[in-house]
């Protein structure tokens, strides 16, 4: 005979694994944070435009050295494996002095120096509440949050394990924010 308390307790779900990510539908972005599988649709058009434009602006100057110093790998939607957590930021960057050889694996285990999340209605809570603490725990030094609906970019730096806001820009402002202060681009590039 079961008690009322036993009937009310939900069964514990098994922790999600990399196999759950591999088994996710191909049209979904799958991530595992704190043992929970999250699947989200591919980005909507404003999100995709912001990510593409940012990759072009930063990639030219910081990956290829066109109008900037070079010395980076700037990657769109890399799969990051941090222990049991599997995250897919919209963009991430590694300094080449820290990752001189580009890996041939399906995912990265070395934490990037910089991560950018493009906020969307379907991923905002995951990006802000679940993924930010993982990035801090793993020692990602810089986090940018781009909001296409609000036409803003908010930049953070990791200081003593906590995120500190270092800049907030909007609309068509010039962007010259760490860790990419060596070159400038217009935030207007990210909006239609």
Q: Give the model's pLDDT for residue 99.
A: 97
Q: Where are the domains of the chain?
A: 44-190
pLDDT digits (tens, 9 = 90+) for 25-76: 999 999 999 999 999 998 999 999 999 999 999 999 999 999 999 999 999 9
CA distance 125 to 85: 17
First-to-last alpha carbon distance for the chain, in angstroms, is 63
- Residues 191/148, Cβ–Cβ less than 8 Å: yes
Q: How many CB atoms lie within 10 A of CB 72?
A: 26
CA distance 117 to 122: 12
Assigned token pair, 80: 């990051």
- The DSSP call for residue 2 is -
Tell me, what's the pLDDT at 181? 96
Q: What is the CATH class of 44-190?
A: alpha beta
**For position 12, what pLDDT does the model report?**
75
Q: What are the pLDDT tens digits along the chain (192 aa)?
A: 555 555 566 677 799 999 999 999 999 999 999 999 999 998 999 999 999 999 999 999 999 999 999 999 999 999 999 999 999 999 999 999 999 999 999 999 999 999 999 999 999 999 999 999 999 999 999 999 999 999 999 999 999 999 999 999 999 999 999 999 999 999 999 999
pLDDT of residue 153: 98
Beta strands in the chain (DSSP E): 28-33, 36-41, 72-76, 80-82, 85-87, 91-95, 114-118, 142-147, 152-159, 162-170, 174-175, 185-186
Helices (H), 24-170: 45-58, 124-125, 132-137
pLDDT given for residue 8 in this prediction: 62
pLDDT of 188: 98
């Amino acid at each position: 005979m079961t008690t009322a308390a036993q009937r009310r307790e939900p069964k514990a779900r098994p922790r999600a694994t990399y196999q759950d990510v591999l088994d996710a539908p191909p049209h979904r972005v799958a991530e595992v944070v704190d043992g929970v599988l999250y699947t989200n649709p591919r980005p909507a058009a404003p999100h995709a435009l912001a990510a593409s434009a940012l990759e072009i602006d930063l990639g030219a100057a910081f990956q290829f050295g066109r109008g900037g110093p070079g010395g980076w790998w700037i990657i769109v939607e890399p799969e990051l494996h941090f222990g049991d957590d599997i995250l897919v930021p919209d963009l991430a960057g590694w300094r080449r002095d820290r990752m001189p050889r580009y890996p041939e694996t399906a995912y990265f285990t070395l934490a990037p120096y910089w991560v950018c999340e493009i906020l969307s209605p379907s991923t905002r809570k995951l990006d802000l509440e679940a993924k930010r603490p993982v990035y801090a725990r793993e020692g990602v030094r810089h986090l940018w949050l781009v909001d296409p609906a609000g036409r803003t970019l908010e930049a953070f730096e990791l200081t003593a394990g906590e995120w500190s806001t270092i800049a907030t820009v909007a609309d068509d402002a010039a962007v010259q924010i760490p860790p990419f202060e060596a070159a400038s681009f217009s935030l207007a590039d990210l909006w239609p």
